[in-house]
Structure 1
Amino acid sequence: MDSKNDKQANVETALSLLDKAAETGADMAALPEMFTFMGDKEGYRTAAEEIPGSVTEKLSQKASDHSMWVHGGSMFEIAKEDGKVHNTTVVFDPDGEQRAQYRKIHLFDVEIGDEVVTQESARVVPGENIVTFDTGFATAGLAICYDLRFPELFSSLAGEGADVIILPAAFTKHTGKDHWESLLRARAIETQSYVIAPGQIGDKPNSVPSYGRSMVVDPWGNVIAKASDSVGVITADLDFEYLDRIQQELPSLEHKRKELYRI
């Protein structure tokens, strides 16, 4: 997606893309980070909603209409702290029931002189919980964007049995060109899971451009689907017999010396 500051237009685009995903026969569809709003940072709270709310009701309806899992990328959820929000993922099953909710744990605070100053924590309250859920065909784990740089989170998700990890993102073009694919492949290899990473593209109002290149990576680290630099849908088939074989032939997850690690 190429979300900007028109929330209604962004939501309509997302719903249309979910329809297109369903037309491909998808069992699950996932949206990118902040799919409802990527405008002025001062507008985060205005764009935020309670969960459940009008946007999650629409996502639930699409899941039910298409008998398809819907991973709602991330959206701004009203936080208890005055004027702040959570960056939140909500997941719905094929009956339209909410099955998971995850709030972004790691916040992007960066200061490089006077040229680059980003302080996500000024407006966003971090989450405190690691989240997995059962789909019936896999155990899925949840993360958002900057979380990608913290292998401890992914190791924890793998420890909870995650076969699939879904990471919606709005990675910056500056870091994305060098780190996006490398980090996704590394997380897939070390967790021996499929990593699904829907991303934002394009220039953003009063913010840096997003890198895009949504992709799906298999547990051997192969990129099995990658988006072009345009709004649209990509699909991939997840082969869990292949995943089981990798985990059996290279049982690195069983060889962890947790008693020696200090985190």
Structure 2
Amino acid sequence: MKIRVSAVQYELRTIRSFEEFAAQVEHHVRTAEEFGTEYVLFPEFLTTPLLSIGDEQGKALPIDRLPDFTGAYEALFSGLARQYKMHLIGGTHVIREGDKLLNTAHLFFPDGRIGRQPKIHITPTEVKEWNMGAGDVLQVFDTGKAVIAMLTCYDIEFPEIVRMARARGADVIFCPSCTDDRHGFHRVRYTCHARTIENQLYVVTTGTVGSLPTVDFMRANFGQAAVLTPNDIPFPPHGIAVQGELNQDMIVTADLDLQLLEEVRSRGSVTTWRDRRTDLYTDWS
């Protein structure tokens, strides 16, 4: 079984209306559709340009106003997923749950269903500056062709949570990200590679590019999309199926062979998933 995936290096820019945001999103979805893509990944904090629309005085909205756009965001992505018959991972959008703000990845199915995965590990900036809460449950999603999980940015830096996703059947991790400098970018990128090796699965990742001059903590972005594979003979030597050009507004596309994962797990050069020493450490299954 093969699936075709695309990852969008989404350019953040100041906008004046929700319609501008919707047009930019649909442009990327239509581009992916021209490549025959089945799964499209957008980056973390995808909807923060909506804050740049501003209030009556023209001042950028604070982060706790993002949940006001949840209905419009979900309607947009649900409509596009149905129209183009794709699975859309709509990056992350901040929702309100009780008195908590949750940075939440959304999976939009072609049949109209919506899967949600709040970010489980929250960065110090998210806690201190935005008072963001943490998700408490890991979910995996059976999409018919592939079992996937959505782990956002900082989440991928914790090997335990990816072990849990793999133990529950995930073959592909979609990792939307948002990093403002090279240090943050490489933390995420290097750990994405490590997770493919440890768990013999694919990781699809992307980040924001561009800037939002009026929105606090979104003024600088450093990003690159990539589709990453295990490092074994059937795959590219560097474990990179495809990657974008740094900090450019663009989309990358690759095919993922799920049967190949089963083959390397059973008889690859190394069999890291099978060779876990669960007599010494926790078996997350």
TM > 0.5 fold call: yes
Tell me, yes or no, if the aligned pair for 2:157 and 2:192 is still in contact at 8 Å. Answer: no
Tell me, yes or no, if the aligned pair for 2:266 and 2:274 is still in contact at 8 Å. Answer: no
For the aligned residue pairs, the C-alpha RMSD in angstroms reads 2.3
* Distance in 2 between residues matched to 1:145 and 1:42, nearest whole Å: 24
Amino acid at match of 2:204: I
Are residue 126 (structure 1) and residue 134 (structure 2) matched? yes
Correspondence 1:15-164 to 2 at 5 A = 15-37=26-48, 43-49=62-68, 53-81=71-99, 84-98=100-114, 100-109=115-124, 118-120=125-127, 122-164=130-172
Structure 1 residue 74, shift from structure 2 partner = 0.5
Are residue 180 (structure 1) and residue 188 (structure 2) matched? yes
For these two proteins, the number of residue pairs brought into alignment is 251
- 1:226 corresponds to which of 243, 251, 272: 243
Amino acid at match of 2:86: M
Amino acid at match of 2:76: K
Tell me, yes or no, if the aligned pair for 1:62 and 1:96 is still in contact at 8 Å. Answer: no
1:86-138 deviation digits (Å, cap 9, x = unpaired): 1111112222222x2100010110xxxxxxxx343542111001010111221
* Distance in 1 between residues matched to 2:228 and 2:258, nearest whole Å: 13
SS state at 2:111 partner: coil
* Distance in 1 between residues matched to 2:275 and 2:91, nearest whole Å: 33
Amino acid at match of 1:27: E
Amino acid at match of 1:187: R
Tell me, yes or no, if the aligned pair for 1:5 and 1:37 is still in contact at 8 Å. Answer: no
TM-score normalised to structure 2 length: 0.80
- 1:215 corresponds to which of 209, 214, 226: 226
* Distance in 1 between residues matched to 2:199 and 2:45, nearest whole Å: 25
Larger RCO, structures 1/2 (Cα 8 Å, 6+ apart): 2
* Distance in 2 between residues matched to 1:119 and 1:91, nearest whole Å: 22
Structure 1 residue 235, shift from structure 2 partner = 0.5
Structure 1 residue 79, shift from structure 2 partner = 2.6
Tell me, yes or no, if the aligned pair for 2:42 and 2:176 is still in contact at 8 Å. Answer: yes
